[in-house]
Chains A and B, each alone.
Chain A
């Protein structure tokens, strides 16, 4: 089955700096790669996603890149703000088969003012 590895487990940046979180997946059939943000005690919420037919997607300060050959994808957050502090999870699935999401271990991002 699918296995997703996520690094780093913790990341601390200064406000205004960029943050990058990286994930690798094992199942080459996976075609959907979302990123979820989870604030303390809250539910995970989708912040951006990408499908396997696209190499890069951007939404304001957030971007995701996908390298299908290497089976890895990354989340980039620019101009970080204190409210970006949270745990971020990457995941992989077969979206067009209503597939389950397999999540990485999570990255705790801390943005210091």
Chain B
């Protein structure tokens, strides 16, 4: 158990719909990262938040958005869903930050949310 919790584990929806994926980081971790893993694909970085602020953005579509709340949990919102959005979405957390020695670099991954768009 990594300590990172993601819900829901599985989600089936139709094209054009909107879904929200939720992530609770490990206790004490300030950084949250979202990754997308499509079938037979690698781990594509979407976005990173640190202590409520957006820190880095990857190849995240405009139809997708995310935020990190004051209690440090994060949500990834996917809208106007297309068949190609079907994937496993991972959340990861780390201590993060700019404080020397505070970050080991390791990311701890949740079990993922498997999204199927029909």
Interface residues of A (CB under 8 A from B): 32, 34, 42-46, 49, 51, 89, 93, 95-106
Complex: chain A residue closest to B56, CB-CB: A100
Residue numbers in A under 8 Å from B96 (CB-CB)? 98
Contact, CB under 8 Å: A98 / B95:
yes
Contact, CB under 8 Å: A98 / B90:
no
A43/B90 contact (C-beta < 8 A), A34-B106, A98-B95, A106-B42 known = yes
Residue numbers in B under 8 Å from A46 (CB-CB)? 106-107
Besides A43-B109, A98-B30, A106-B42, 18 more A-B contacts (Cβ < 8 Å) are: A43-B112, A45-B109, A46-B107, A95-B103, A95-B105, A96-B100, A96-B103, A96-B105, A97-B103, A98-B55, A98-B98, A100-B33, A100-B45, A100-B55, A100-B58, A101-B92, A105-B42, A106-B43
A43/B33 contact (C-beta < 8 A), A89-B42, A100-B45, A102-B45 known = no
Contact, CB under 8 Å: A98 / B42:
no
Q: By the criterion of a CB under 8 Å from any partner CB, how many residues of chain B are at the interface?
A: 34
Give the Cβ gap from A24 to chain B, nearest Cβ, in Å: 15
Residue numbers in B under 8 Å from A95 (CB-CB)? 103-105
Residue numbers in B under 8 Å from A104 (CB-CB)? 42
Residue numbers in A under 8 Å from B103 (CB-CB)? 95-98
Q: How far is the CA of A97 from the CA of B35 in the complex (A)?
A: 19
Give the Cβ gap from B70 to chain A, nearest Cβ, in Å: 19
B85 within 8 A of A: no
State which of B43, B50, B112 has its C-beta within 8 Å of the C-beta of A98: B50
Residue numbers in B under 8 Å from A49 (CB-CB)? 105-106
Residue numbers in A under 8 Å from B106 (CB-CB)? 34, 46, 49
Q: How far is the CA of A101 from the CA of B47 in the complex (A)?
A: 11
Residue numbers in B under 8 Å from A34 (CB-CB)? 105-107
Residue numbers in A under 8 Å from B101 (CB-CB)? 96
Chain B 75-106 residues near chain A, CB threshold 8 A: 90, 92, 94-98, 100-106
Chain B 42-76 interface mask (CB, 8 Å, partner A; 1/0): 11110010100001101000000000000000000
Q: How far is the CA of A93 from the CA of B97 in the complex (A)?
A: 13
A32/B105 contact (C-beta < 8 A), A43-B90, A43-B111, A100-B48 known = yes
